[in-house]
A and B are shown apart, each in its own frame.
Chain A
Amino acid sequence: GAVVSQHPSWVICKSGTSVKIECRSLDFQATTMFWYRQFPKQSLMLMATSNEGSKATYEQGVEKDKFLINHASLTLSTLTVTSAHPEDSSFYICSARDPGLVQETQYFGPGTRLLVL
């Protein structure tokens, strides 16, 4: 299957700082990437859909000014958590859709665990 990477895998930061997470598709070009958040013992929650060359589409209840998404190229999307607070501590996972496949198939990155102190 397709390979998606994320960086960093772990980040610890102080409250009030901003954190940038990168998501890369390594062996295919992804016009669409997705950002999820998962709290302990809960399922994936879609935060936003990242479209190359256009603005991201945010899910209801997700603050677009707090979670900045930039899909600068066909292989890179970034999520910036601005002014992070302890309640933003979570497991952030990106996924990318392989347009080479006819049907909708998403491949997930390994995730980024964020801890805000």
Chain B
Amino acid sequence: QKEVEQNSGPLSVPEGAIASLNCTYSDRGSQSFFWYRQYSGKSPELIMSIYSNGDKEDGRFTAQLNKASQYVSLLIRDSQPSDSATYLCAVAPLGGYQKVTFGTGTKLQVIP
């Protein structure tokens, strides 16, 4: 079983719609959760981090965390063609110099 699982996609949504990206993880000790965006040929860019259960909103992005279900999601409202990229989910244990485990990413395509 993969430690961090994501649907590889592609997930296609029309411009202006809500894109919903999902991620599950296997390590119940995970405490830190991140969403990175990676454009083709570029390195990942941190867009959201979340550490406690519930929702965290930042502009058009909302991260949702449910530790009981070991599930974290990212919602993108009013999707734009510029949001088309691969979104990587990442998890880490609490504190220290623990390594971050990345999922394989979900490719999002926003159709104009």
- 11 inter-chain pairs at a CB distance below 8 angstroms, sorted by A residue, are A31-B97, A43-B103, A46-B99, A49-B97, A103-B95, A105-B32, A106-B34, A107-B46, A108-B36, A109-B43, A111-B42
Chain A residues, Cβ within 8 Å of B95 = 102-104
Contact assessment for A108 and B44 in the assembled complex, using a CB-CB cutoff below 8 Å:
yes
Chain A residues, Cβ within 8 Å of B49 = 103, 105
Interface size on B, residues (CB 8 A): 26
Per-position binary interface string of chain B over residues 70-112, scored 1 when its CB falls under 8 Å from any chain A CB and 0 otherwise: 0000000000000000001010110111111011110000000
Contact assessment for B43 and A104 in the assembled complex, using a CB-CB cutoff below 8 Å:
no
User: Does A44 touch B at the CB level, under 8 Å?
Assistant: yes
User: In residues 14-38 of chain B, which contact A (Cβ within 8 Å)?
Assistant: 31-32, 34, 36
User: Does B51 touch A at the CB level, under 8 Å?
Assistant: yes
Smallest CB–CB gap between B101 and chain A, Å?
8
Chain B residues, Cβ within 8 Å of A46 = 99, 102
Chain B residues, Cβ within 8 Å of A109 = 43
Smallest CB–CB gap between A10 and chain B, Å?
11
Contact assessment for B45 and A108 in the assembled complex, using a CB-CB cutoff below 8 Å:
yes
Instruction: Give A32 to B96 CA distance when docked, in angstroms.
Output: 10
Contact assessment for A97 and B43 in the assembled complex, using a CB-CB cutoff below 8 Å:
no
Q: Specify which of B34, B51, B99 is in contact with A34 (CB 8 Å cutoff).
A: B99
Q: Specify which of B31, B42, B88 is in contact with A44 (CB 8 Å cutoff).
A: B88
Nearest first, the 9 A-B pairs at minimum CB distance are A43-B104, A111-B43, A104-B92, A108-B43, A104-B32, A93-B43, A103-B32, A32-B97, A44-B102
Q: Who on chain B is nearest to A93 by CB?
A: B43
Q: Who on chain B is nearest to A104 by CB?
A: B92
Having A46-B99, A105-B34, A106-B34, one finds 9 other A-B pairs with CB under 8 Å, namely A43-B102, A43-B103, A44-B102, A93-B43, A93-B44, A104-B93, A104-B96, A109-B43, A111-B42
Given contacts A32-B97, A43-B102, A43-B103, contact A103 B51 (CB under 8 A): yes
Instruction: Give A110 to B31 CA distance when docked, in angstroms.
Output: 27
Q: Which of B34, B44, B104, B105 has the most CB of A within 10 A?
A: B44
Contact assessment for B100 and A104 in the assembled complex, using a CB-CB cutoff below 8 Å:
yes
